[in-house]
A = this chain, B = another copy of it.
C-alpha cells in the first residue's frame, strides 16, 4: 500500500458538472426533454459540446457549485437538484488529457415555463436529450445515465410538477409524464394514480379558454423531505 503524503502533487482534480433538464416543445408541438450544453473552447475536445461545469472551488459545497454553473450557463434557477454519480475512471478523457479529472455530476430540473428565458448563445445551446451530438469526454454516457435516473425517479417519486408552474391541470401533468417516459398514458388511470398519491390538491379554480370542458386546476401539496 503506497503512502499518501508522497503523491499529493499528482492528486486528481475535482470538477462538478450538471446535467440540466427541461421540457420544450419540439417541431410537432409535443413536449420533449432538452438539455443545455456548452462548447469547449480549448483542448481536449475543442469545439465539441460538453456538460456545463467547472473545477470545485475550495469554499463551495458540491450542490451549490452545481447550481452555480446552472445559473451561469442558463441564467435560470434549479427547481430540483440531486447528485447523480461521481465519474472518475483513470482514462475518462480517452487519453487526450494529461491531468486526471474526477467529476461529481449533479442533475437538475428547470421549469418549462422558465425555459423560454434561458440564455442561448454561440457557446451555450439547448439540445433535445434523445438527439445529442457526440459529446466531449464520457458525457454522452453521463447524460444517458441521468436520463435513466430521471425516468426512474418520476415513477416512484413525485417530481414531475417541478417542470410546471404553480398551478396546473392533470392533463398538463400527464403530458410531463408522457414526455419524460416517452409513452402515452391512459388519462383515467393517470387521474386515479395522481389523486390517490396525495401529491396534488385542487385549487378550486378551473382553466378557462380551452375549446372543451374546463379542467380543474391543481397545485402540489407541501411535501416533507426533498433531495438525496
A113 on the B face (CB < 8 A)? no
A147 to chain B, nearest CB (A): 14
Contact B62 A86, beta carbon cutoff 8 Å: yes
Which of A62, A86, A89 gathers most chain B CB within 10 Å?
Answer: A86
A155 to chain B, nearest CB (A): 11
Closest residue of chain B to A55 (Cβ to Cβ) is: B4
> Chain B residues with Cβ under 8 A from A122's Cβ?
none
Q: Considering only CB atoms and an 8 Å cut-off, how many residues of chain A contact the other chain?
A: 32
A58 on the B face (CB < 8 A)? yes
Complex CA–CA separation, A1 to B102 (angstroms): 21
Contact B88 A104, beta carbon cutoff 8 Å: yes
Which of A62, A88, A90, A145 gathers most chain B CB within 10 Å?
Answer: A88
A57 on the B face (CB < 8 A)? yes
Complex CA–CA separation, A56 to B11 (angstroms): 7
> Chain B residues with Cβ under 8 A from A8's Cβ?
13, 55
- Chain A residues with CB under 8 Å of chain B are 1-2, 4, 7-8, 10-14, 54-62, 68, 72, 83, 85-86, 88-90, 100, 102, 104, 145, 228
